[in-house]
Amino acid sequence: MRPFPADRPSSSRGFRPDIEGLRAVAVIFVILEHLFGWPKGGFVGVDIFFVISGFLITGLLLKEQARTGRVSFLDFYRRRIRRIIPASTLVLGITVVGSYFVFQQSRFHSIGGDSLWSLVFLANWHFASIGTDYFTQAGPTSPLQHYWSLAVEEQFYLVWPLLIAVVLAAGWFIGKRSRTTRIVILGVVLVLIIAGSFTWALYQTRTNTTVAYFSTLTRAWELGFGALLAVMTPQFARMPGWLRPALSWVGLAGIVVSVAVLSTADFFPAPGAALPVAAAGLVIVAGVDRPVRFIWPITNVVARYLGRISYSLYLWHFPVIILFAALIPGRTTRYFVVVLAVLLVVSVLAFHLIEDPIRSSSWLMPSAARDAVPSGRRAPVARGMLGALLIVTACGVVLTTIYYAKPLSKAQAADIAAAAEPTSAGTGPVDAREPKAGQVLTAQIAAALTATSWPTLNPSLDSVLSSDSTARDINACSGPKPPGLDKCTWGNAGAKKTVVVMGDSVSVAYLTALRDIVTTKGSPWRLISYSMFGCTFVDIPIHNSDSALQNACPARKASAIQGVATLKPDLVIITNTYEPRTNADTSAIVTLAQWRDGMTSFAAKMTPSAKKVMLLAPPPSDVNIATCYTKASSPKDCVSTLTDQWSRLAAVEKDVAANINGVFVDSSSWFCSRQGQCPSFVGGIPVKRDLVHMTSAYADKIAPVMLADLQSDGYFLS
C-alpha cells in the first residue's frame, strides 16, 4: 500500500484539501497499527489509498484526454517515474545498507532479495510466493514488506491508461462519437472489472488467503472503484450542498468503524475491504466540484501537511519500525519515542529535499517541454540528489549512534565455555539410563542464561534461521497430502507398542525427538504421526491464513480419530502451539473456556481406543529468535520467559488431562530454568528457529531427557 504521491489532489474545481487530509488519516492508522498493534484494523489504510489513487489517476487521465483528445503514455509514465522511483529507491537503498549493519547474515540476505523484487515492483507476488502471512508470522518481518502495495498500484497502472485509451477509441470507431457516450462505455467496463475482481477476491480469500491479500487481481476492484468515482464526477457535481458534509462525516465514521471492528481474522480483501472502500468513496464524492465545509478533522493544517508527506511517511515507517526494533530491544517507551521521532524527521527531510523537488522538476521531460520550464524548476534535481546524500548520512549517523550506545560486553571466558560446552546428549543412541541427562541439561540452561555475548553455535543461528532442517520424511508426512501411513511410521516394524502423535507444527518439531526415542536399538515402540502443519487438533475450527491447510485440517483430524480407533495404540500424544488462535467461524480469539471445551471434546474421542492420552505442552514462545538475533543484540536480549498465555493454557490442559484420565506433561524444564527463564541456545545448540518451533538439533539433544522424564512418569517403558 502507498499513498499516491501525485500532484496536489485535483478535481474539476482544483485542489482537494479533503483528499489530502484523507491521506493523512489513512497513513496514520497504518503507522499506528504497525507500530503499536492498535487500532486492530489500521491496516485498512491500504484500501483507502487504493481508492484515492484510482480516483486521482483516472481523473487526471480523463482530463488529459478531454483537453488533448488523447492519453500520452510516455508523459504518464514519465510523471510516474518522477513521483515514485527516486523516493522509493532511496528507501530501498538505505534499508538494505542499514540491514547489513544491524542484522545477521541470513536475514540480511533475505532482505536483499526482498529489495530486488521491490525495485521492479513485483514485491506483492514475491511475498505471496514465499507464503508471507501479512498478519501472523512466526518468522521475522521484512522491513520492505509494505512495498507490496506499490507493486499492486504500478501493475494496475501499467494496464489502466492503455485500457482507457482503447475503450474511448473503440467508442469512436463504433460510431459512439459523443464523449458522454464513450465515458458511459468506460464506466460499464469499469463495473465489469470491479465485479470480476471482487468475485475473484471472494473466491481466493477463502481458498488462499495469503495470495488473495497480495494479489493485483484481487485488489484491482479497489482501484477500479476509485476510477469509477472519477468517471462519475459529472453526476456527483450535481449533489446539493447540504448533503455533502453529511456524506463526508458518514464516510469518516465508516473509516473509524473499519479500523475499530475489522481484524486480521476478517476476510480480506473481500468482503472485508468493502466497508473502508465505500467509506473512503463517500468522503471523495462529497467534495466533487466544490469544497465541503465542517469537516475539520481532514481539512486542518496538520492533517493536510501529513497528507502531503504521506508517501514519505509510508515508505519510511516500516524500515524504521523494524530496524529500530533490533537496535532497541523490547517495546519500551524509549523505542516508541525514537521510532516516531526518527520517522517524522526523515519523512519531512525526504519530502522536502528529494520527493517534492524531483517531482516538480523538469527531469525526464521531453526537450521541448524542458526548455519551456522556468530555470528555477530545473535546479531541484540537483537539490534532490544532495538531499538524498544528506539523508543517507543522517541515517548512518543515527544507526551508528544507537548501535554503539549499547556496547556489547564480552562474556567471561568461563561463561562462554560453559554456555557453549558441547554435550553428547542427542548425538548418539538415546539412553534413558543416563541418570545425569536432566542434570546436565539444567546446568547448561543455567550457563546459557549467564552468557553476555554470542558463542559459536553448532549449527549456527544463521544456518538455522535460513532453512528448516526438519527431516524430509517428517516434513512430507506433515503436509496436507501426506504419503501412506507406512511412510509416516518409524521404529521397529514388529514393535509390540504403538505411540500415535498428532497436533500442529509444534508436534512436527517434537517428532524428531520422538523418532530418536523409538529408533533406539531394542525399543519396543513404533511411532505413527498424524501431525499436520497449521492444523490445530482441537474441536474448534481454527483460522489459518493458508486456506489449503485450513481446508485439509478437518479431514486430517478425522483420519487421526479413525486411525486411533483402528490401531488401539498404547499412547496418544497431542500437542499444539499455545499462541492465541482465532475461531474460523466467528473470527473471535479462542477463549480459555472454549479451548478447554474443545480440547476435552477432542481428546475424549481417543480414550475409548487408546490406553493413555497425553497432552504435551509446547516449547514456551515469548521472544522470537529470528527477530532478536542481530549484530546489536546479546544472548540476554533473546531470553524468553514463561508467558501468562503459556501458563494459563498449560493449566487448562492439565485440568483437561485429569478430567479424561489422561496425563499432562509440562515441557518447560526442557527449555527453561526453574525461574522460568528460557535461553535461545543450550549447550552450544540453538533452541528454536522462530517464535515457536524447536530446531531439529535441539530435538535430538533433549531426546534422552524426554525419554527419562516420560519413563519416570510410567511411559515409554520397555
What are 570-627's pLDDT values in tens digits? 999 999 999 999 898 887 899 999 999 999 999 999 999 999 999 999 999 889 998 8
pLDDT of residue 436: 73
Q: Is the model's pLDDT at 182 over the cut of 50?
A: yes
Q: Is the model's pLDDT at 46 over the cut of 90?
A: yes
What are 141-158's pLDDT values in tens digits? 999 999 999 999 999 999
Asked if residue 430 and residue 340 are part of one domain, the reply reads no
pLDDT of residue 371: 54
DSSP bridge pairs for 501:
529, 573
Domain presence at residue 588: yes
Question: Contacts for 187-191 with beta carbons within 8 Å, 24 or more apart?
Answer: 187/228, 187/231, 187/232, 189/163, 190/224, 190/227, 190/228, 190/231, 191/228
pLDDT of residue 415: 36
Residue 716 grid cell: 515409554
Domain presence at residue 43: yes
Domain presence at residue 159: yes
Contact 283, 22 (CB under 8 A): yes
pLDDT of residue 132: 64
- pLDDT bracket for residue 391 (50, 70, 90): low
Domain presence at residue 301: yes
pLDDT of residue 413: 34
> What is the average pLDDT across 362-376?
61
Domain presence at residue 415: no
Asked if residue 169 and residue 311 are part of one domain, the reply reads yes
Question: Contacts for 117-120 with beta carbons within 8 Å, 24 or more apart?
Answer: 117/147, 117/151, 118/88, 118/92, 118/144, 118/147, 118/150, 118/151, 119/89, 119/92
Final residue of a structural domain among 345, 380, 411: 345
- pLDDT bracket for residue 409 (50, 70, 90): very low
pLDDT of residue 427: 39
Domain presence at residue 360: no
User: Range of 448's domain?
Assistant: 420-712
Rounded to whole angstroms, the Cα distance separating 122 from 125 reads 6
pLDDT of residue 392: 57
Rounded to whole angstroms, the Cα distance separating 350 from 387 reads 7
pLDDT of residue 213: 93
Domain count, the chain: 2
Asked if residue 157 and residue 247 are part of one domain, the reply reads yes
Asked if residue 426 and residue 290 are part of one domain, the reply reads no
Domain presence at residue 353: no
Domain presence at residue 362: no
Q: Which residue in 708, 714, 621 sits closest to 439, CA to CA? A: 708
Asked if residue 445 and residue 341 are part of one domain, the reply reads no
Q: Is the model's pLDDT at 368 over the cut of 70?
A: no
pTM of the model: 0.83
Asked if residue 340 and residue 431 are part of one domain, the reply reads no
Half-sphere exposure of 485 (CA within 13 A, CB side): 15
What are 634-648's pLDDT values in tens digits? 999 999 999 999 999
Pairing status of strand 497-503 against strand 663-665: unpaired
Residue 652 grid cell: 487448562
Asked if residue 341 and residue 432 are part of one domain, the reply reads no
Out of 221-230, 368-377, 451-460, 685-694, least confident range = 368-377
Asked if residue 341 and residue 475 are part of one domain, the reply reads no
Block residue for cell numbers 544463521: 462
Say which CATH number the domain at 648 has.
Answer: 3.40.50.1110
Final residue of a structural domain among 278, 310, 345: 345
Asked if residue 564 and residue 480 are part of one domain, the reply reads yes
The Cα-based distances of 685 to 355, 670, 703 in angstroms read 48, 13, 14
Asked if residue 658 and residue 510 are part of one domain, the reply reads yes
pLDDT of residue 642: 94
Asked if residue 300 and residue 214 are part of one domain, the reply reads yes
Which three-class secondary structure state does DSSP give residue 571? strand
Asked if residue 491 and residue 576 are part of one domain, the reply reads yes
Per the model's pLDDT, the better-predicted residue between 29 and 374 turns out to be 29
